[in-house]
Amino acid sequence: MQGTEFLMTTPLLDIQDFRVRYPGQGDWAVDGVSLRLDAGNIVGLVGESGCGKTTLGRAMLRLLPKATELAGTASFEGRSIPAFTAGELRRFRGEAVSLVFQDPMTRLDPLMTIGAHCVETVLSHESQLSRGEAKARSLQALESVNIPADRWGQYPHEFSGGMRQRVAIALALVLNPKLIVADEPTTSLDVTVSAQILEELTRLCRDRGMGLILISHDLSLVAAHCDQVAVMYQGQRVELGTAHQVLTQPQHPYTQSLLKAAVDLQQAAIRAARPPDPQPLLRIQDVQQHYSLGQNPLAGLLGKPNPGPIKAVDGVSLDLYPGEILGLVGESGCGKSTLSRTILRLVPPTAGRIEFLGQDLTHLSRRDLQPWRRNMQMVFQDPHACLNPMMTVGQGVGDPLRIHGLATGAAVDQQVQAMLERVGLTPVEDYLHRFPGDLSGGQQQRVAIARALITRPKLIICDEPVSMLDASIQAQVLTLMLDLKQEFDLTYLFITHDLWVARYLCDRIAVMQAGKIVELGQTAQIFDQPQHPYTQTLLKAAPFLATV
């Protein structure tokens, strides 16, 4: 009886006055945080980049550098996590607690197929199972996140960013853990798939008595799925309460500012439609990008048909006019990013025609493309992955000037310092000699924008540039991009799965599904009178932040 009472009152996870300090740093990255999570409950952990959310999540699994200093207590089902032996820690990770990382590409082995990842994960913890049983369980987990069985033999690079994130979530679910720590698990996913995955995670929590810690900067998502919300700021937990309490009666000034930024974004007036120029800056006509799936040799011997090509982009035609912002929205895997890379000729199109400033770029050699690329730049979703970690901020931003022969010596330094100041990285001396890894996510994205602007391009393709940022930093970066557009006379192709960001920023919106443009119109028309069923589905699934 006493043991039963203990189990009923002991929380799944309990951290008290917990502190984390990285080697060589004076300040605590996590400073005196207390949090309790019971089985079957969901806690949302929100805050700006660099506030300690991810550090806290990794500390729960002891995934920090060896010399990291820990203080306070952290226990799982009454057992001290810091006291786990190596064997206990191995069983704890995966079987008891699973972590879904924010950036799946850095966590998936590029030399292993998706199927091999899943089977290895299962068999490493449950060696008594046969490979057939491990495969059956893996296929079930992949199906729960909408990864079809025919993608089993493919490699991570053959998946879109959103689909790789689905794989990461399936890997977390496949061992039926008691607690999942999900670090921005739906950052790269569209609203419909985000809703499906989070509904599945919350259902599993209720049905199996699992706990879920949802680390996110998306207040709408947290409000819709979490029992409690903990707000972190500068390493400390500054607010804790039910989702309703925190979102309708925020007490801390930081929570209030975060909430205001999110609400302002959703309620901002739609930008007035601008009349198009007679000549487009960019014209793409019937562009296709098809990929062939390699056949498994054994399947060929068994007489199975060769799988057909993946039609990532399937006959897309678009005109983009000087000075406008055209939004490209759609679910993960629909071909948005593939289209952007095809436009820039980072990958050659299977068919179709790409014109920029009246010049057909479709069949130009790499050497002939070079002067055109100066005028076509890209801001990627994950700035940390696209910035050279071995180059300082100053070196990275100035590199395009040297590549295109636009400046040398002191002239490069002068232009770099002016651009860093323009994107808000001031005082410039504090950032010039730092490395990307020393910066927060928002600061890294400002560096990426500075690097894209340094050649004074006419077109910037933005591939989910604010999806990894919290609401307040999102607002700052979007405002910066609008200011820079006016100052440098820029044209944006803005790829996003966040419909509220598209509504706030874009003049026109193109909706993409399964490699095709299914609807194109003025932003007001898309939101007020959507015509295509898929557009209507996207709008219905978009989480709205109700604060009253």
Secondary structure of 78-130 in HEC code, one letter for each residue: CEECCCCCHHHHHHHHHHHEEEECCCHHHCCCCCCCHHHHHHHHHHHHCCCCC
Residue predicted with more confidence, 178 or 217: 178
Mean pLDDT is highest, among 65-69, 78-82, 260-264, 394-398, for: 394-398
Q: Are 447 and 397 in contact (CB under 8 A)?
A: yes
pLDDT at 304: 60
* DSSP H helices in 126-160: 131-144
pLDDT at 1: 39
Of 127-131, 329-333, 418-422, the one with minimum mean pLDDT is 329-333
Q: Tell me the whole-structure pTM to 2 decimals.
A: 0.77
pLDDT digit string (tens) for 388-405?
999 999 999 999 999 999
Q: Is residue 107 scored above 80 in pLDDT?
A: no
Q: Which domains does the chain have, with CATH numbers?
A: 2-262 (3.40.50.300), 382-454 (no CATH)
- Whole-angstrom Cα distance, residue 53 to residue 67? 20
* Tokens read off for 299: 């399947």
* Average pLDDT of the residues in 543-548: 64
* Average pLDDT of the residues in 437-442: 80
Residue predicted with more confidence, 350 or 198: 350
- Whole-angstrom Cα distance, residue 99 to residue 61? 8
Question: 171: closest CA among 121, 107, 209, 136?
Answer: 121
Binned at pLDDT 50, 70 and 90, residue 433 comes out as very high
Q: Is residue 14 scored above 90 in pLDDT?
A: yes
The overall average pLDDT reported for the chain is 87
pLDDT digit string (tens) for 120-133?
999 998 989 999 99
pLDDT digit string (tens) for 117-174?
999 999 998 989 999 999 999 999 998 888 899 899 999 888 877 788 889 888 988 9
Binned at pLDDT 50, 70 and 90, residue 439 comes out as confident
pLDDT at 2: 42
Binned at pLDDT 50, 70 and 90, residue 6 comes out as very low
